[in-house]
Structure 1
Amino acid sequence: MPDPDELTPSSEPRRVSRRALIGGIAGGLVGAAAVVGGGAVLLPGLLGGQTKSTPTASPTPTPSSAGDGLLADRLLARPGFTVAHRGGSLDWPEMSMEAYRNSVALGVNALEISLARTSDGVWFGLHDATLDRTSGTSGFFAADHTWAEVQRYRITAAETTDPGQPAQPYLRFDDLVDAYADTHTIFVDPKVAPTEHLGELFALMAKAPHPTRTFVAKGYCTTTAWPLDAQSRGFRTWGYYYGSELAADPSLLPSTQAQWTWLGLDYEADADTWRSMTAGDKPVLAHIVPSRADAELSLQRGAAGLVVSGVREVLASGPVR
């Protein structure tokens, strides 16, 4: 089933109900563009039947002088604050260090990452259960493979507006934390990890200088275990909704909003739905915003912040007001 939290240059957000999915676990979307080595992008040295991965240096993050003004407890004081969806999923290979570095350089206020867990316990940026959509593999379930095996592949730019740009390595969550946890809010969504492993994730988050000011637990609106555990530990939470689903089930919002500190509504929802959502006492963030025009309209409708896929276009003229 396609995931509604998916936006590609050739499609609008897929607002397909995920009510049947538990804990935010999403299936992989298979079928990336044709790439090297039987459909998979592998590191140089792995072609020709070799199986040993080639070590590569981790990208050096660009230092930020933003300070703690971009941490979660101060975001709402910045009208129209921006969250880079997967680091800027329309612009760069999603959830790569390259994407986050470029988004920070353009002035985003926060970063968003979906997480999967390898068989040897490494949490890394991945929206799906498999690497298939992002690297062109076939049936490569992250949970069944080690981090060393994941590192053999690269995240393609097939779903960006510049598909010819170089593919990028997958990114460990702790590397993102080391690079930006002291300067930027990080929205964290454990998409495809069993709940029994959430303690490991909280332990990684605890390494940040100010964990509850840095991380926001993100999930689809009906997710329960992740946000409730996060709330019990003092974290803010953000649950996203779709206007079409709210219209189809008027009980959806009142029955699920208790586990969320902040709410999310798709930028394409109609004006009446936006009025209804923003009439409550919880801030509402627009998602997943691809353009400057959509960002401006979302703010006009009462969005407190913007979860942005098209970071370059949205911020090309500076902060959105």
Structure 2
Amino acid sequence: MPTSPESTPSGPARHRPSRRTVILGAGAAAVLIAGGATAAAISSRRPAPTTPGKLVSPLLASERFTVAHHGSDLDWPEESGYAYRRSVEAGVDALEVSLARTSDGIWFGLHDATLDRTSGTKDFVAADHTWSEVLQHRITSAGTSDRAQPARPYVRFVDLLDAYGATHTFFVDPKVVDATHFDELLDLIGKHVPHPADTVIAKGYCTATAWGSFARKHGLETWGFYYGNEIEGQKNLLASTQETWSTVGLNYTATAAQWAMMQALGKTMIGHVLPSAEAARESLDRGATGLMIASLEKTLGGLPSPSPS
């Protein structure tokens, strides 16, 4: 039985020797940690989501779709199993995850090279530590709107794939991981979902063309995000990068002229990172189809209903 996104082995690392061990090590039994539960227990207690989620093709064909940025990081401790579960319960269409990789080959949700911002450590570089060592720390609620809520464990990427890969698109960004590990990541994804192209969109900052090009070569859709002041200030930025990305994104605070520059590419656009319904509505008005949302609690209820398809 696969482990829950909220529980992982807390004993000594058991995934060192081979990629097969890393990939399949979620297998047999999970030792529960505080706040954790098995995948079956989560399924049995979880209310049905408002919407069932969307895989890649129906997502990109939608009139409008929603993505939980870091599992809605303004609402819940970012990139925790708890945050992703709550996002799915809220009815989001897709999930965004940035990935780090431990010294013993475990891919897990982390935006930064270190745990310092999310856990208050000092110079704790994820790539220099084992998964067992990472599990000694928790993701604080300091960046959320409810700082009194409990800190949460880090979550392995494979546990997220096992829980939601059959129903939800994942926007995947190996933000701080060297390109030499991209084959390993794709191999891992293929062990946990039947068809990676149905579940995964490769996401990256617009200049992360090594990841984007690798993903497109292997049949994945890609999403590159931009900032309005940069596409105006760096005249060659769009021209030199946009072919890597099958879909594009722009910050919601960009000007109308900057949004028009992106629209001229003729690609599906996603507004990011949206803290409110007002920001989401403004992105839709300026041509966005997708909404990369940082606070589902403050956004979903304030969106107009899409027209019937």
Cα distance change on mapping 1:288 and 1:213 into 2, 3 Å: same
Residue in 1 aligned with 2:217?
A: 232
Which residue of the other structure, out of 146, 158, 162, is the alignment partner of 2:146?
A: 162
Show the 5 A alignment for 1:1-321. Answer: 56=33, 57-58=36-37, 60=39, 61-62=42-43, 70-206=54-190, 207-317=192-302, 321=306
Residues 265-315 of structure 1, C-alpha deviation per residue, up to 9 Å, x if partnerless?
000000111122112221111000110011011101100111000111111
Secondary structure of the equivalent of 1:312? coil
Partner AA of 1:254 in structure 2: A
| Amino acid across the alignment from 1:91 | D
**How much is the aligned-residue C-alpha RMSD, in angstroms?**
1.8
Output the CA distance in 2 between the equivalents of 1:255 and 1:284.
18
Q: How many residues align?
A: 268
TM-score between both structures, scaled by the size of structure 1: 0.80
Structure 1: runs of 5+ lacking an equivalent: 1-43, 45-53
1:15 maps to what in 2? none
Q: Flag structure 2 segments of 5+ consecutive residues without an equivalent.
A: 1-9, 11-30
Deviation at 1:320, TM superposition (A): 5.6
Aligned-residue identity in percent: 52
Q: Secondary structure in 2 aligned to 1:316? A: helix
Structure showing greater relative contact order (alpha-carbon pairs closer than 8 Å, 6 or more residues apart): 1
Residue type at the aligned position of 2:301: A
> Is residue 64–residue 289 contact of structure 2 (8 Å, CA) maintained in 1?
yes
Q: Secondary structure at the match of 1:74?
A: helix
The CA distance in 1 between the partners of 2:304 and 2:104, in whole Å, is 41
Give the AA of the match of 1:285.
I
Q: Relative to 1, partners in 2 of residues 1:312 and 1:320: Cα closer, same or farther, differing over 3 Å?
A: farther
Take 2:304 and 2:83, find their aligned partners in 1: how far apart are those partners?
19
Deviates more, 1:140-149 or 1:271-280: 271-280
More helix by share: 2
Q: Specify the SS of the correspondent of 1:218.
A: strand
Question: Does structure 1 retain, via aligned residues, the 8 Å contact 2:280–2:303?
Answer: no
Report if the CA contact (8 A) 1:182-1:210 is conserved. no
Residue 299 of structure 2: SS of its match in structure 1?
Answer: helix
SS of corresponding position for 1:217: strand
- Give the counterpart letter for 1:188 in structure 2: V
